[in-house]
């Protein structure tokens, strides 16, 4: 069985491809899936592109075309919790799609149809394994990761996400990937490195630093799990 690893940007999966051996390339729909070995683990890595729809379609095709044991989402995120510094790690205990807004129909903000939940849990087993590694290497926090199809910069939204969902970080893909995994009964966890505190300038400046944090953790995880 394969470990599926999804990143939105090419830079988020580039280091995996450098380490991957016996690589096979499969173009399925608009996405390119690279499957091979990293530390003797069977891995499929793919760039899903930014946004919830891209992430969801990419995840479904991954699950349908490969024998997937579980899915990891890696990449960068914006901090909500002030305890997370640049380069720190947000690990997902759960996710929420906070732009799902059917409150006018009586549902809670973030209600996810098909699962009939607002906050979708992640795999406790995988989370525990990753946390054991990450806590020794980085500033790490476990909690809810919130996703929507916009780059969140304003404090009003960030404060709402913290108060309503107890979210620790925000991005544009994690919750959508978890949504698809939950519908398919596939275990999931996200490893998100903090690249900014809600500023586009910070994002560009600290992207490389954040990706270095991910690299250290994911390789240690694949080597020892």
- Number of compact structural domains in the chain: 1
Q: Are 32 and 25 in contact (CB under 8 A)?
A: yes
Query: How do residues 58-112 score in pLDDT, each as one tens digit?
Result: 999 999 999 999 999 999 899 999 899 888 899 999 999 999 999 999 999 999 9
pTM of the model: 0.94
The answer to whether 208 is a known catalytic residue is no
* % of the chain at pLDDT higher than 70: 94
Q: What is the CATH number of the domain that holds 61?
A: 3.40.50.1580
Which pLDDT tens digit goes with each residue over 37-54? 999 999 999 999 999 999
From 12, 81, 97, 171, active-site residue: 12
Has residue 118 got a pLDDT over 50? yes
Rounded distance, CA 122 to CA 129, Å? Answer: 13
The mean per-residue pLDDT over the stretch 134-147 comes to: 92
Is 116 one of the catalytic residues? Answer: no
Digit-coded pLDDT (tens) for 170-215: 999 999 999 999 999 999 999 998 876 654 545 555 666 777 788 8
Residue 201: the pLDDT is: 45
Q: Which member of 116, 196, 212, 220 is catalytic?
A: 196
pLDDT digits (tens, 9 = 90+) for 6-21: 999 898 899 999 999 9
Range of the domain at 55: 2-224
Surface-to-core class of residue 94, CB atoms within 10 Å of its CB (0-12 exposed, 13-18 middle, 19+ buried): buried
């Amino acid at each position: 069985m394969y470990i599926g690893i999804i990143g939105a940007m090419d830079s988020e999966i580039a280091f995996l491809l450098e380490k991957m051996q016996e690589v096979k390339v499969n173009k399925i729909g608009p996405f390119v899936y690279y499957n091979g070995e990293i530390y003797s683990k069977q891995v499929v890595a793919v760039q899903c592109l930014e946004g919830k729809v891209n992430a969801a379609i990419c995840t479904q095709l991954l699950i349908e075309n490969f024998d997937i044991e579980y899915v990891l989402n890696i990449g960068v995120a914006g901090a909500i919790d002030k305890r997370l510094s640049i380069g720190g790690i947000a690990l997902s205990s759960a996710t929420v799609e906070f732009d799902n807004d059917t409150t006018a129909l009586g549902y809670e903000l973030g209600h996810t149809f098909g699962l009939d939940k607002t906050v979708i849990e992640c795999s406790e087993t995988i989370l525990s394994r990753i946390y054991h590694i990450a806590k020794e290497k980085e500033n790490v926090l476990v909690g809810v990761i919130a996703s929507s199809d916009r780059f969140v910069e304003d404090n009003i939204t960030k404060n709402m996400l913290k108060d309503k969902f107890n979210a620790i970080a925000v991005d544009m893909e994690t919750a959508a990937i978890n949504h698809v995994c939950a519908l398919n009964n596939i275990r999931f966890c996200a490893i998100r490195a903090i690249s900014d505190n809600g500023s586009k300038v910070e994002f560009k400046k600290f992207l490389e630093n954040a990706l270095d944090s991910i690299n250290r953790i994911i390789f240690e995880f694949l080597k020892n799990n």
